[in-house]
Amino acid sequence: MAELREAHLRYLLAIYELGKSTPDVGTQAVAKALNCSKASVTKMMATLMDMNLLVREKYGKIYLTDTGFLLAKDMLQCIELIRERLPAMGFDLTEEETRDFVRTMAVNLPEHCRRRLAGRV
């Protein structure tokens, strides 16, 4: 599999989170969640399909493969652990700043660090 970049992980996480609240995730929902264009989503979907991380069915519904699901689940676990540990650092962040910071930190961690946080060492 090609190396996962920050953008790949952001899309996987968005699809995973959207899929928890609605069974049928489409490009429009992903575009709205990530505040980007449908064209950008369509392009990234093709990349993620080539990486075997998701499938796109007729009528544009998007589903994570088992591999994509596990990656996104691990990413969410990393985010939750970082969020739990962040107060010890003494930052005075708003809830929105905290959300953005922990997501940015999690998606930029080296893969071996994400695996360790997710308990997959």
What domains are defined for the chain? 6-68 (1.10.10.10), 70-117 (no CATH)
pTM metric for this prediction: 0.83
Q: For position 46, what pLDDT does the model report?
A: 92
Q: What is the mean pLDDT of residues 104-112?
A: 87
**What is the DSSP code (8-state) at residue 25?**
B
Q: Report the b/e string of 46-61 with b at 16+ CB within 10 A.
A: eebeebebbebeeeee
Predicted pLDDT of residue 2: 63
Give mean pLDDT, residues 78-88.
Answer: 90
pLDDT for residue 1: 58
Band of the pLDDT at 121, cuts 50, 70, 90?
A: low
pLDDT at 107 over 60: yes
pLDDT of residue 110: 87
Segment 99-120 mean pLDDT: 85
CA angle 38/65/25 to nearest 5° reads 35
Distance CA 117, CA 66 (A): 20
Residue 110 sits at φ, ψ, to 5 deg, of -60, 150
Burial 75-106 (b: 16+ CB within 10 A, else e): bbbbbebbbeeeeeeeeeeeeeeeeeebbeeb
pLDDT value for 56: 87
Average pLDDT over residues 27-54: 93
